Chains A and B, each alone.
Chain A
């Protein structure tokens, strides 16, 4: 429970940072900080807790986003569950696969958001306007996910009372 609360607080901080994070010089893109936090947390916890953390983090983002409330919660919850249950056992600590997981998660998140917005009646900008920010976000999220994972793993271990054995 404590870990879930801490993870939600981290997602809240990431939401606040993301609100004021302007487009980076890299193709006008910026990283999805909340997605990175919940994905990184799900690498170190079981699938049930990962789904809850993803859902709560997505709801925090929904509260400041123009997307329909609950959309980000649903997408993040599903992605975190999949990350913890299916991807982590296959990764075996491989950094490249972690980067790839971040890229795939970004693609799924952006695609899900776009489809949901279209379904709600909004018109999307032309694709040629979206290639740069989307591609940039994919790369940024993929490259930053390993660092976020390291950070979240330390917090999870600290909250779990984990102690490194010294021989």
Chain B
């Protein structure tokens, strides 16, 4: 037979005194604080260790939760970058067009009033004998034979044939092309500029030896003959060929417009004819 030894309980009054003493020890300064220090000294390393581990674990979970957020942010940034890049390309094109149109406006003011018809090159003559292009405007678009064709950089050529919807333009670099020009230099020399076909160079022959020509001088149309209006930029003098024994010298001119990269062209209607043009 097993009997349990009855447990002796702390009397009620002892419990009350113990609580009062514990509260007094907690609130009153003095030696009781030493017990608190002992506890903190003993427990501090463990607290530090657990705190460190807990921080690391918490950091890992936090990083994992941020990965997804960063991935979504990354995708948004990439989309924004792509959008900005396409916008940048568009703005650059607009900047170039703006610059071209400003140059064209200045050219139009110098060339005088008249209608400028924008045209595009649709074909280039395939034979090596002729420097000619075909553009996408013809008689129905207001183009007429002998109209002058320019870009914002300078003179391109002259309309030779006009169909209903297309026109054929003879470039100034063709050997059959001739333009009355003036050199914007000291001598203000005038002459006739001829094309040299595929070498993309122009030549002014029969310039008197006494006229001073400098490399880099701008060559413009003189307006003589009323074929090309005065003041259109043709090119710059690339070199001067002279011989002491010859009475004349020759100027080789580099055209202002690269004939191999024709983009925006404009046909000058009512050009060089002297009568009142229709404003655009």
Contact = CB atoms under 8 A, between A and B. Distances in A.
Interface of A: 18-22, 28, 30, 32, 61, 64-67, 110, 113-114, 117, 122-125, 129-130, 133-134
Chain B, interface residues (CB within 8 Å), range: 20 to 34
Contacts of B175: 123-125
A133 B128 CA distance: 7
A66 B126 CA distance: 9
What 7 pairs across the A-B complex have the smallest Cβ distances?
A19-B123, A125-B197, A66-B132, A133-B128, A66-B130, A66-B125, A64-B123
A28 B127 CA distance: 12
Nearest to A32: B126
Contacts of B124: 19-20
Interface of B: 122-130, 132, 134, 160, 168, 170, 175-176, 196-199, 260
Contacts of A61: 126
Given A19-B122, A125-B175, A65 B128 contact: no
Contacts of B160: 66
A122 B198 CA distance: 15
A117 B125 CA distance: 13
Most buried by A among B124, B127, B260: B127
Contacts of A30: 126
21 contacts: A19-B122, A19-B123, A21-B126, A22-B260, A32-B126, A65-B126, A65-B127, A66-B160, A110-B127, A113-B127, A113-B129, A117-B127, A117-B130, A122-B129, A124-B175, A125-B129, A129-B128, A129-B198, A133-B128, A133-B198, A134-B128
A28 B197 CA distance: 14
Contacts of A133: 128, 198
